[in-house]
């Protein structure tokens, strides 16, 4: 899968997760009385930042393990092990 496809998938997943969470919070009638638009904006902001941080950690770990695998391949002897 290409880098663009991974990025598009991550953006779609993040966006749909935020929309789903906000929809679930707003659809609960008893809770709706206690939710303000400011609080809702804060929840959306924190959810977005959390998703972005998780994605960043995933990308860093992917890069680290790719580098580790590449270094391991370079150290392999040319003959049989």
Answer whether residue 51 shows pLDDT above 80.
yes
CB distance 14 to 55 below 8 Å: yes
Answer whether residue 46 shows pLDDT above 60.
yes
First to last CA, the chain: 32
Average pLDDT over residues 16-39: 73
The pLDDT tens digits for 59-70 are: 888 888 888 888
Q: Scan for tokens 């939710």, then name that residue.
A: 35
In whole angstroms, what is the distance from residue 5 CA to residue 72 CA?
27
What is the pTM (predicted TM-score) of this model? 0.49
**In the prediction, which pLDDT does 45 show?**
86
**In the prediction, which pLDDT does 29 show?**
62
């Amino acid at each position: 899968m290409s880098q663009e496809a991974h990025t598009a998938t991550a953006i779609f997943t993040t966006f749909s997760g935020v929309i789903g969470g906000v929809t679930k919070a707003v659809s609960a009638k008893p809770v709706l009385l206690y939710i303000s638009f400011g609080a809702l904006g804060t929840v959306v902001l924190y959810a977005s930042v959390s998703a972005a941080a998780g994605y960043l950690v995933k990308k860093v770990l992917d890069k680290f393990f790719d580098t580790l695998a590449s270094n391991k391949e370079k150290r392999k002897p040319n003959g049989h092990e």
